[in-house]
A and B are shown apart, each in its own frame.
Chain A
């Protein structure tokens, strides 16, 4: 069963098309890399895939939910990592962990432990992207969306979320090409 189905999605604002038609379907455990021509297009496409931004045309289904009609149910299944990563302080990170624990109904101490485990597994770095991945992986999710991740992190992140489908968005020449590979970092390059 496909956990993510994006059907012919576009995004336009003020009459300008910012994201051209793209479709993608990803099943649980699958990994996909989606290329967009520009960073802006990649950022918007990542948010469309995560159900955060509504496409101007086309549809996005996450699990059994239409992301436009049932956004809260759809987002409950998704972990989203923005390109900028987590930009706050250590205290703000602790607050964000508590926020996610609260919203996803997880025990606060368990959420903190899960976040620390993910940070440790990714090398214990204080990098903002690692922190953002840790936040995204606190709840049990079915889909992890990575907006322009550092290619070096990709395989390690994929190993941390094995049952979840994983979609990484990149900006580059190969517009709208979808590639699937177990060797994630290779296909991202």
Chain B
């Protein structure tokens, strides 16, 4: 898993770097890219690993453990864009970077529940993850007052519910495949 995870992280970082180098400081591209690139990060987890399900852990504990790698993977795209901006000597609006990061993390958390579901439900969770990320980034996108604070509140609420839902899903899940 670690090699697979490293490759997935580097691919997202490279995508962020490429977008940053080609488009320059574009907050909209950053936030949209972060939302889209966060999709599928949950699949870097081996959620069918029996080692986890055989361990004396509750669903919520498993959920927290499984949430860490996707969140780190989701941060790769915004970090790549930030590095590109530093390379070009240009400034990326901090609020846009913050909103993109928060959106990416929320998308990764929402996408977690899709990782143990079959095709059509997995697609539905991917779509929901992108929508959640865009919703988190929306206050910054619209330039609302206290936009980053609003984004943070939205991210905390959505992230909390997404992680809780994943914990409930894992508690009911029967790993028979």
Residues in A lying within 8 Å of B, measured CB to CB: 11, 13, 18, 43-44, 47, 50, 52-54, 71-76, 78, 80, 82, 96, 99-100, 103-104, 135
Say yes or no: A80-B50 contact (C-beta < 8 A), given A13-B176, A47-B175, A52-B175: yes
| Least distance between B119 CB and chain A CB atoms (Å) | 15
- Kindly state the separation between the CA atoms of A135 and B51 in the bound complex, as whole angstroms: 9
Any chain A CB within 8 A of the CB of B23?
Answer: no
| A50, A53, A78, A96: the one within 8 Å of B174 (CB) | A53
Tell me whether B51 and A54 are in contact (CB under 8 A). Answer: no
Instruction: Considering the complex, give the chain B residue whose CB is closest to the CB of A18.
Output: B176
- Other contacts beyond A72-B58, A103-B56: 13, CB < 8 A: A47-B174, A52-B54, A53-B175, A54-B174, A71-B56, A71-B171, A72-B57, A75-B57, A80-B50, A99-B51, A100-B55, A103-B55, A103-B57
Q: Give chain B residues whose Cβ lies under 8 Å from the Cβ of A50.
A: 54
Tell me whether A52 and B50 are in contact (CB under 8 A). Answer: yes
Tell me whether A53 and B176 are in contact (CB under 8 A). Answer: yes
Instruction: Considering the complex, give the chain A residue whose CB is closest to the CB of B52.
Output: A99
Q: Give chain A residues whose Cβ lies under 8 Å from the Cβ of B51.
A: 96, 99, 135
Instruction: Considering the complex, give the chain B residue whose CB is closest to the CB of A44.
Output: B176
Q: Give chain A residues whose Cβ lies under 8 Å from the Cβ of B175.
A: 47, 52-53
In the A-B complex, the 7 residue pairs with the smallest Cβ-Cβ separation, listed nearest first, are: A76-B56, A75-B56, A80-B54, A53-B174, A72-B56, A103-B55, A52-B53
- Kindly state the separation between the CA atoms of A60 and B58 in the bound complex, as whole angstroms: 17
Interface size grouping (class) on chain B:
10 to 19
Tell me whether B176 and A43 are in contact (CB under 8 A). Answer: yes
Instruction: Considering the complex, give the chain A residue whose CB is closest to the CB of B51.
Output: A96
17 sample A-B contacts, Cβ–Cβ < 8 Å, listed by A number: A11-B176, A13-B176, A18-B176, A47-B174, A52-B50, A52-B54, A52-B174, A53-B176, A71-B56, A71-B58, A72-B58, A74-B56, A75-B55, A75-B56, A76-B56, A78-B54, A82-B50
| Least distance between A166 CB and chain B CB atoms (Å) | 16
Q: Give chain A residues whose Cβ lies under 8 Å from the Cβ of B58.
A: 71-72
- Kindly state the separation between the CA atoms of A53 and B175 in the bound complex, as whole angstroms: 7
- Kindly state the separation between the CA atoms of A104 and B54 in the bound complex, as whole angstroms: 12
| Least distance between B48 CB and chain A CB atoms (Å) | 11
| Least distance between A65 CB and chain B CB atoms (Å) | 10
| Least distance between A60 CB and chain B CB atoms (Å) | 13
Interface centre among A47, A78, A135 (most CB of B within 10 A): A47
Instruction: Considering the complex, give the chain A residue whose CB is closest to the CB of B53.
Output: A52
| Least distance between A181 CB and chain B CB atoms (Å) | 26
- Kindly state the separation between the CA atoms of A53 and B177 in the bound complex, as whole angstroms: 11
Q: Give chain B residues whose Cβ lies under 8 Å from the Cβ of A82.
A: 50
- Kindly state the separation between the CA atoms of A98 and B54 in the bound complex, as whole angstroms: 15
Instruction: Considering the complex, give the chain A residue whose CB is closest to the CB of B171.
Output: A71
